[in-house]
Structure 1
């Protein structure tokens, strides 16, 4: 089967299409166990303190109002000998149509003054009572959860299960050809664990344990499908043409580096240069290193190797904003003074054909370049997949302290192209804390304290101005005006509405004589501000983990004249946070490791689309089986296992003939 056909088959149905056309592949997220039903009230004593379902005749006692003003209705539930009382709120009452109506009521049994009560009561549909019922999630903006459950519960029968199995087999055939049955047996999907049985166990569960075991097996299958697709894609996608080039000697390579490299820095640079020079294929790599680990020097060494070993080749640095682009240009050009450089951004274009070292923002994407040997993308998390591959190059090298979820997920099965810097050459002592509205005066004292040391304060807001500010969240412009009343002439504001020249003026003032700057997240990448020791993020719940870590990376980038290299990072919450928000922000209070934070971000946001052509950089990973996650922790192992397995299965059998016969 040709690669072109494979790529066509990889276009999966959306979640809603699966729900509509092949619901057996729209998996439930959990089950509710309604098997234990009491219809003889003499057995209720043994159930005190437990949540069960009670069957009896319901009759209305009266209507009431709670102390908080919420209306509710009380009922009796009776059998021939005894009764239990319960209450219902809101729409549940409309389901009681008549006196002595037979009903199943779920709740916790309590005995109060010799009378049974059913607390936290709810009505259970008759068709669910006595069964284990699968529960399906809805689709945001397309499918209400209640509608999904009404449509799917009890309605996925044998024909739908077979249709789902056939879809999975089509996918498996696409990936493994005639080896499909052998692969399934080797992976454990046979007998009671066959694909058909697993689908039946999750949609028509008989035992709770079997449901969750089947979900885990289908998760394993989904991971195997992704691993198989990645393997198939590797064989189908051609690599860029590659030519072995000589390595320049270490003395020439490090000639203009302004400090002595650490052992880790030299090792990582050597790894990258080895791949650039000797392959075996062109490099499509990722350099992961936290702020202060020396990423810029490593990138400069890679560029220097290419430019000094080849006479006509070009190296391009792509950066997300003008300020970072100019900073990179100054630092890199100082380490590669032998070649002509150029800067291409919205306000400047010094490019000529003679330039071999080119720096630019996304303005580069509108130009044509020839002989590009290496494209380096700094702060790759700020750019889309299309932007990062628009310029054609032999080699690609991306860099980030906090790679986006999709990129981080890709590293889990392509370790030969991932390079890590883990040690900071300038250690930092950053104190990160969550600050609540009630602690506002403490925050102001902390600002005064920082300024008293002759250091600078950065305050980051989620919005640049008050336009469309319906939720009354303070913006950068308003906060800067307010702070100017307390610190007259000491505050500047920095955001995307300023043109490049205005931004440069504000940054230069902040780097020199202005002690306080109010900014949006525009400040987050790459910039070095001398003596910046204190950062406050206003409305921190509105920022992502990696963005917050990037902002924190602006702190303590220069060594103080004496003492530790300290910094304060305050996550200010003007409103009461949800438990999930607080758990997310506490990731930052617990760790300053950018890679760890990126891992947590991947867990929270999802990996997006992993296969080539995918553009979603976070979110759910496209899979044939819906509502189930690919297990990224096992993906690399699954790829390696399937590669070995398919080679073993497809190996021709050798017949050893007895020579004496």
Structure 2
């Protein structure tokens, strides 16, 4: 036994060479600590060992032991197949064992080798056999096996890193494991009757009983939630100590600005704007999340805050996730200002491909060089800067920045916030806007350090989108309806999921967990294949006389932007796309959203797609094409019944988990926390304990191990 140095780099372990190291890092494994905390996704229960005489039924998972009596490999050259067949004997009976395309096993298992085998039985014309079992050589009778005859952990994998290899790395560490420092305070461990840290680590990886694994999993889920909440609360406290620009709420100016808007604000928009404007007055950095439904008018609320900021003599910046959305924001904001004849607010657009400014006159041109625009920002001659992440580059310096608006739900921490202001002493205010509604439990966990404003209501001038499930037998009717919409001069979005890779198909059928298994390149090509197939069908068979375009992730940004602009200009009738079409893209003339294989998407994502139509004055429709009934059909019916994105998001969290929500994976949440986000009671307990610990010891001076763990997480996980 020894005291494990958890910060030891994983490359110090045997068998982790230069080729394996980047693969492990892809799984987030850099140190021994990371390896021990790479928890199983599920378990195979191979614990019930039976004699060969007891093996009698096909399609049954069994664990057996026996001595190899015969072994040979046959090759079927036409099919490029190698079949290795062994006969094993345990004294009570004999059993045939078959492996496919593993010819090396013939040399690995000479006659007389004793094996432990776990796998599923099968039946062919020669009788019962064991098909492609997991195997281990038995050296001693009392040997503690790793891959067979026990409850076996199955881990999140990536290409080149199998569960078997991870078990091979982790088991020796656990056998030598001594005292591990426990960062979870002793009083919490005692209060909730959690297992000690060393015991929990052993039980989550190699449990004797599944109950032991579950107890360990609950302990670690609580611990990760607790640490996550603690970090959020500390961030909030640290931010509260910093001074920020004090922007007074000019009620008359805001009332006049709101009256001049092209549409009345909803009550939710009014309340959210009021909450934001009151935050700006406090002299402490605002940290607010605008959690809005699709089409709820988040941009206008943000513009009200930016207008007040500029009126007070400061600058504001809005960061969008893509160039298309940044340009859309530029168009929306300048259009509203132009209609109100507010020409004294200078607006700039800074993206990778161009730079623009507004208003323009005989002297001021719309298109400028990026260098000129950056100089204007630095001199305070641009009041509102709109862009992508280009606006937080080193060469962008603000003169008097007071408000940062992030139009995506990724984390944007104190460090990034202060980078924007460089030498300013005051911290800017931060307003984050979500791309899709976030369920309460998820918002509480990811954004525990933010105040939240909800936008549930939609502007009253938009007709409700009619949503219909279209079974395969009724697709012709839907196509006829779409044709009639196009005849009226309307346009159509078609979304299709990517074609599944073999690994995804295996995962759906109960195989290995999918995390990291399929490379991004393979996923991208699967998307291209799916869109191309649908594009060919619609453009050549279903709508041969219509103008059809397609979009997918392999299309270059400039070409993609041209296709979107041409679609907006009415050059195409139908746009076929994967889910890459940006959230919030405004095509007021698009009235039909057609989604192929709708059962392959989550409710939250389907609701997001639906929100891309219904942005104009015409009645809009969403058609959910599906060939599945049962559970999938009942899930899709929820979309027919409700347009409430928050209600659908809560349902999706319970059905599919939090990974469906855009930006969640980028938020630094460990997988174990992700799996626990439906457990509101556990989240409440974790937050309550975090609050109590900080009340007792605001700097965590009384909890040095806890403080050390938080510092490690801050360094290893980019929370910002």
Contact 1:455/1:532 (CA < 8 Å) preserved in 2?
Answer: yes
Name which of 345, 349, 355 aligns with 1:344.
349
Structure-2 change in CA distance of 1:218 and 1:606 (3 Å): farther
1:214 shift after superposition: 1.7
Q: Could you state the TM-score of these two structures normalised by the residue count of structure 1? A: 0.69
Structure-2 change in CA distance of 1:283 and 1:439 (3 Å): same
Q: Is 2:437 the partner of 1:420? A: no
Q: Is 2:519 the partner of 1:509? A: no
1:144 shift after superposition: 3.6
Structure-2 change in CA distance of 1:95 and 1:642 (3 Å): farther
1:134 shift after superposition: 4.2
Aligned to 1:6: none
Aligned to 1:655: none
| Structure 1: distance between partners of 2:643 and 2:97 | 51
Contact 1:317/1:359 (CA < 8 Å) preserved in 2?
Answer: yes
Structure-2 change in CA distance of 1:96 and 1:340 (3 Å): closer
Structural mapping, 1:498-647, within 5 Å: 498=558, 506=566, 509-510=569-570, 515-516=573-574, 524-536=582-594, 550-560=608-618, 565-569=619-623, 593-595=644-646, 600=652, 603=657, 605=659, 618=665, 621=668, 631-632=676-677, 633=680, 634-635=682-683, 637-647=685-695
Q: Is 2:406 the partner of 1:377? A: yes
Structural mapping, 1:20-39, within 5 Å: 20=32, 24-39=36-51
Aligned to 1:88: 98
Structural mapping, 1:367-516, within 5 Å: 367-378=396-407, 391-392=420-421, 394-402=428-436, 412-414=446-448, 417-424=451-458, 425=460, 426-431=462-467, 444-459=479-494, 482=539, 498=558, 506=566, 509-510=569-570, 515-516=573-574
Contact 2:38/2:155 (CA < 8 Å) preserved in 1?
Answer: no
Contact 2:599/2:632 (CA < 8 Å) preserved in 1?
Answer: yes
Structural mapping, 1:117-516, within 5 Å: 117=128, 120=131, 122=133, 124-125=135-136, 126=138, 127=143, 132-135=150-153, 137=155, 140-141=158-159, 143-153=161-171, 156-157=174-175, 159-162=176-179, 165-166=180-181, 168-169=182-183, 180-189=185-194, 193-237=195-239, 238-243=241-246, 245-249=248-252, 251-252=255-256, 254-278=258-282, 281-308=284-311, 310=312, 312-319=313-320, 320=322, 321=324, 322-334=327-339, 337=342, 339-345=344-350, 346-350=354-358, 357-362=383-388, 364-365=391-392, 367-378=396-407, 391-392=420-421, 394-402=428-436, 412-414=446-448, 417-424=451-458, 425=460, 426-431=462-467, 444-459=479-494, 482=539, 498=558, 506=566, 509-510=569-570, 515-516=573-574
Contact 1:227/1:642 (CA < 8 Å) preserved in 2?
Answer: yes
| Structure 1: distance between partners of 2:58 and 2:497 | 51
SS in 2 for 1:557: coil
1:256 shift after superposition: 1.4
Aligned to 2:705: none
Q: Could you state the TM-score of these two structures normalised by the residue count of structure 2? A: 0.64
1:325 shift after superposition: 1.8
Where structure 2 has 5 or more consecutive residues not aligned to the other structure, the ranges are 1-5, 11-24, 359-372, 422-426, 499-523, 702-720
| Structure 2: distance between partners of 1:507 and 1:285 | 35
1:427 shift after superposition: 4.6
Aligned to 1:657: none
Structural mapping, 1:43-82, within 5 Å: 51-60=61-70, 72=83, 78=89, 80=91
Contact 2:68/2:89 (CA < 8 Å) preserved in 1?
Answer: yes
1:216 shift after superposition: 1.8
1:203 shift after superposition: 4.4
Contact 1:496/1:522 (CA < 8 Å) preserved in 2?
Answer: no
Contact 1:77/1:84 (CA < 8 Å) preserved in 2?
Answer: yes
Structure-2 change in CA distance of 1:370 and 1:432 (3 Å): farther
Contact 2:48/2:150 (CA < 8 Å) preserved in 1?
Answer: no
1:647 shift after superposition: 2.7
1:555 shift after superposition: 0.7
Cα offsets for 1:183-227 (capped at 9, x unmatched) = 5434544xxx22232223334533332222122212222322333
| Structure 2: distance between partners of 1:553 and 1:543 | 15
| Structure 2: distance between partners of 1:620 and 1:399 | 14
1:78 shift after superposition: 4.8
Structure-2 change in CA distance of 1:332 and 1:383 (3 Å): farther
Structure-2 change in CA distance of 1:264 and 1:409 (3 Å): closer
Cα offsets for 1:388-422 (capped at 9, x unmatched) = 876446222232342799x9657655375211111
| Structure 1: distance between partners of 2:559 and 2:345 | 28
Aligned to 2:501: none
Structure-2 change in CA distance of 1:144 and 1:543 (3 Å): same
SS in 2 for 1:38: coil
Contact 2:407/2:433 (CA < 8 Å) preserved in 1?
Answer: yes
1:234 shift after superposition: 3.9
1:289 shift after superposition: 1.7
Cα offsets for 1:501-523 (capped at 9, x unmatched) = 9679735632xx86445678775
| Structure 2: distance between partners of 1:596 and 1:370 | 43
SS in 2 for 1:285: strand
Structure-2 change in CA distance of 1:334 and 1:160 (3 Å): farther
Stretch moving more, 481-490 or 121-130: 481-490
Contact 1:412/1:635 (CA < 8 Å) preserved in 2?
Answer: no
Structure-2 change in CA distance of 1:383 and 1:520 (3 Å): farther
Structure-2 change in CA distance of 1:30 and 1:265 (3 Å): closer
SS in 2 for 1:153: helix
SS in 1 for 2:265: coil
SS in 2 for 1:376: strand
| Structure 2: distance between partners of 1:545 and 1:291 | 13
Cα offsets for 1:261-306 (capped at 9, x unmatched) = 3333322222222222246x32122212223323233223333444
Aligned to 1:658: none
